[in-house]
Amino acid sequence: IKKIAVLTSGGDSPGMNAAIRSVVRTCAYMKLECIAIYRGYQGMIEGDFKEMNARSVNNIINKGGTILKSARCEEFRTPEGRQKAHAQLLKNNIDGLVVIGGNGSFTGALKLNDEFNFPVIGIPGTIDNDILGTTYTLGFDTAINTVVDAIDKIRDTASSHNRLFFVEVMGRDVGHIALNAGVGAGAEEILIPEQNLGLDRLLDSLKRSKASGKSSSIVIVAEGDKTGKNVFELKEYVEEHLPIYDVRVSVLGHMQRGGNPTCFDRVLASRMGVKAVESLIEGKSNYMVGIRDNQLILTPISEAIKAHTAIDEELVRVSDIMST
Ligand code: ATP
């Protein structure tokens, strides 16, 4: 293998830049050429490539987002689109590809491999932490710290005014951000897509909380929670059924995706980038790099994209006990 390409695709996450830097520097260390592909699969189809060297990635380890830009590319979902993309890879003499992204990006990489036998290795870059085969995805640690920081601030105003806050966090399909940040920020209740605790339980919990003398309450709601109500509807519901509370809503939104990566994400990205390049050199393909018990592991991408990581039941129990 002589030349490796790297791209970021799908939703961006903090730590992607640190992973790009790691792939580029590992190539330099191993005396391989390295090509950056801009705008994910769209840039692959269009030949938006740039040669990289160790100095091309100076001062990016600390930056959120991705210097290579990310894109969603419909054309790559078609065999014709992938044919064009593959032609660009061949034209540029590229022998292997590192894809930093989520499930959709990995599915695209697998198809490229199926159709053209092109070597691909994935690095899981998503704040959702929902990919099988790794305890942590790149960006999750940064995102939960961002959320905890925001909730700490909301709590200051909540307790000054004896308010109840519904705070919406990202998580359409999974509640990992909600559960971890909720426990970390001491939320009263955490509503996640994996469990439907019902609205009665929420009201009971809020009543108990008020009766026990708590002056303010924070309820974390993942976007995809199963109550069937969004945060604004939850506010109305509680105001109607439990008029003892002054209720407010805060939707954290895209701030959760941004910001400088935590040290944890930077170290993880650096390790995963080395492993990805080494795996391609060893002739491996169709694997995703993950981490478990602090060891880097490879999982077939076909396994990694099969399902979302299950919620941590032990942490759910801890959260229940903490909200007593
Ligand atoms: P996230 O969910 O964290 O935003 P993702 O990688 O899952 O990240 P997607 O938007 O699902 O993001 O996918 C990114 C790109 O991967 C798509 O725009 C498309 O180009 C490619 N892709 C996704 N699914 C497929 C597929 N089934 N076949 C071919 N390419 C795909």
Which pLDDT score, from 0 to 100, does residue 152 have?
A: 96
User: pLDDT tens digit string along 88-100?
Assistant: 999 999 999 999 9
The pLDDT tens digits of the residues spanning 246-264 come to 999 999 999 999 999 999 9
What 8-state DSSP symbol labels residue 308? B
Phi, psi of 144 (to 5 degrees): -70, -30
Q: Distance (Å, rounded) from C-alpha 302 to C-alpha 107?
A: 8
pLDDT tens per residue, the chain (324 residues)?
999 999 999 999 999 999 999 999 999 999 999 999 999 999 999 999 999 999 999 999 999 999 999 999 999 999 999 999 999 999 999 999 999 999 999 999 999 999 999 999 999 999 999 999 999 999 999 999 999 999 999 999 988 888 999 999 999 999 999 999 999 999 999 999 999 888 998 999 999 888 888 878 999 999 999 999 999 999 999 999 998 889 999 999 999 999 999 999 999 999 999 999 999 999 999 999 999 999 999 999 999 999 999 999 999 999 999 988
Strands 287-292 and 120-124: parallel
What is each CA distance from 8 to 23, 66, 71, 223, 230, in whole angstroms?
12, 7, 8, 25, 31
| Ligand 1 midpoint to CA 214 (Å) | 45
Per DSSP bridges, beta strands 287-292 and 295-300 are antiparallel
pLDDT at 214: 84
CA gap 165, 246 in Å, rounded: 9
Residue nearest to atom 20 of ligand 1 (CA): 73
Element (H, E) at 227: none
63 phi, psi to nearest 5 deg: -100, 140
Q: With b meaning 16 or more CB within 10 Å and e meaning fewer, what string describes 218-257?
A: bbbbbbbbebebebeebbebbeeebeebebbbbebeeebb
C-alpha to C-alpha distance for 159 and 217, rounded to whole angstroms: 8
Distance CA 83, CA 73 (A): 14
Reported as type and span, the H/E element at residue 81 is: helix 79-91
Q: What does the block give as tokens for 110?
A: 């697998």
**Ligand 1 pocket, 73 CB below 6 A?**
yes
Q: Is 159 annotated as a binding residue?
A: no
Q: Which of 7, 9, 129 to mutate to test the pocket of ligand 1 (most atoms within 8 A of CB)?
A: 9
Residue of 12, 95, 114, 128 marked catalytic = 128
> DSSP secondary-structure letter at 242?
-
Q: Is 255 annotated as a binding residue?
A: yes
Annotated active-site residue 128? The verdict is yes
- Decide: 171 in ligand 1 pocket, CB within 6 A: no
ipTM value for the complex: 0.97
Question: What is the CA 122 to chain-centroid distance, rounded?
Answer: 14
- Residue among 13, 105, 107, 308 whose CB has most ligand 1 atoms within 8 A, to mutate: 105
For residue 126, say whether it is annotated as part of any ligand binding site.
yes
pTM: 0.97
Q: Which atom of ligand 1 is nearest to the CA of 41?
A: 20
Written as one string, the DSSP assignment of 129-159 is --BTT-S--BTHHHHHHHHHHHHHHHHHHHH
> Which two tokens mark 212?
């026990």
Q: Consult the annotation and say whether 306 binds a ligand.
A: no
pLDDT for 212: 86
